């Protein structure tokens, strides 16, 4: 007769249980430091009107503006996308839905608060930099769209990056299936890249405005993730 195999002690973790989800803190901190350095460098270059950067901005902006004038149908599609689908208020509404989902479905008020605070922080940083840098937007004799306030950084690009980054973090943290994560990742890439491209195409931002929005938005996300994992990650109440 064979004796039954001994099971694990009652207090031992079940090897079949899923591992806790969440990014590695060291990797997130390292990414935050790199992004902070890149953001600071770009802000200084824009504020000082560094000639190689402004020249490159001008060359790209003139080329894309010519395309926008020559392709009115595509330009109209881009205006619809940037004004409605990828508008910062649309992105904030998506973030609000995620916050409600965290509270109502999972009762995770701390994480919901963290997500809402990160989104608000992104908006505050955007408005502060617009005021501090005071960069003028491109001016055209034949504009295809108009925008107000200062140019740097692009609020559309920054907000889309923050919201999409936070959503991807939530899916990863809650162990969403690989298929769902890949689908959302693809949509996030299309959204973040697409909104940046439309802002340049429509002639309301310089390319470095969009790059700044992407970098600062990514920095906000990494800071939110790093701080949450530090104080509320595994092993913390």
Q: What is the pLDDT of residues 191-203, one digit of tens each?
A: 999 999 999 999 9
Question: What is residue 79's DSSP assignment?
Answer: H
Measure the CA–CA gap between 155 and 196, rounded to whole angstroms: 10
d(CA 68, CA 74): 8
- Contact assessment for residue 213 and residue 127, using Cβ atoms and an 8 Å cutoff: no
In total, the chain counts a number of residues equal to: 237
Specify the pLDDT at position 233. 63
Q: How confident is the model at residue 50 (pLDDT cuts 50, 70, 90)?
A: very high
Helices (H), the chain: 25-47, 51-70, 72-80, 88-106, 109-133, 155-173, 178-201, 207-232
Query: Which pLDDT belongs to residue 23?
Result: 63
Of 28 and 76, the structure prediction assigns the larger pLDDT to 76
Average pLDDT score over residue span 71-93: 97
CA 101 – CA 94 distance, rounded (Å) = 11
* Cα(221)–Cα(218) distance, integer angstroms: 5
Cβ pair 115, 184 in contact under 8 A: no
CA–CA dist 34, 12 (Å, integer): 39
Q: Is the model more confident about 236 or about 168?
A: 168
Asked if the model's pLDDT at residue 68 lies above 90, the reply is yes
Supply 233's token pair: 């990650």
Give me the chain's average pLDDT, please: 90
Q: Judge whether 21 and 173 are in contact, CB under 8 Å.
A: yes
Predicted local distance difference test score (pLDDT) of residue 231: 84
* % of the chain beyond a pLDDT of 70: 87
DSSP state of 204: S
User: Strand, coil or helix: what is 81?
Assistant: helix
Average pLDDT for residues 31-52, to the nearest whole number? 97
Does residue 101 register a pLDDT over 80?
Answer: yes
Averaged pLDDT for residues 145-156: 96
Question: What pTM, to 2 d.p., does this model score?
Answer: 0.88
114/116 Cα distance (integer angstroms): 6
Look up tokens 């803190």; give the residue: 25
Calculate the CA 72 to chain-centre distance.
29
pLDDT at 234: 56
In whole angstroms, how far apart are CA 236 and each of 55, 227, 229, 232? 50, 12, 9, 5
Calpha distance 73→153 (Å, rounded) = 27
CA distance linking residue 222 with residue 211, whole number of Å: 17
pLDDT > 80? residue 9: no
Residue 20 confidence (pLDDT) above 50: no
Confidence label for 21 from pLDDT (cuts 50, 70 and 90): low
């Amino acid at each position: 007769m064979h004796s039954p195999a001994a099971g694990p002690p009652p207090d031992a973790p079940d090897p079949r249980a899923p591992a806790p989800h969440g990014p590695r803190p060291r990797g997130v901190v390292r990414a935050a430091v790199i992004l902070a350095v890149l953001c600071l460098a770009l802000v200084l270059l824009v504020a000082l009107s560094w000639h190689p950067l402004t020249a490159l901005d001008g060359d790209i902006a003139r080329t894309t503006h010519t395309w926008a004038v020559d392709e009115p149908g595509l330009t109209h599609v881009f205006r619809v996308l940037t004004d409605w689908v990828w508008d910062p208020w649309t992105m904030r509404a998506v973030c609000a839905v995620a916050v409600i989902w965290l509270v109502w479905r999972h009762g995770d008020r701390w994480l919901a608060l963290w997500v809402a605070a990160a989104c608000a922080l992104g908006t505050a940083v955007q408005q502060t930099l617009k005021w501090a840098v005071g960069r003028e937007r491109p001016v055209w004799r034949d504009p295809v769209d108009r925008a107000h306030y200062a140019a740097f950084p692009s609020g559309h690009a920054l907000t889309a990056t923050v919201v999409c980054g936070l959503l991807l973090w939530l899916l990863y943290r809650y162990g969403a299936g690989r298929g769902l994560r890949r689908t959302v990742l693809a949509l996030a890439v299309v959204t973040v890249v697409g909104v940046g491209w439309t802002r340049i195409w429509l002639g309301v931002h310089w390319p470095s405005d969009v790059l700044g929005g992407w970098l600062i938005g990514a920095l906000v996300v990494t800071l939110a993730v790093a701080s949450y994992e530090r104080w509320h990650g595994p092993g913390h109440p």
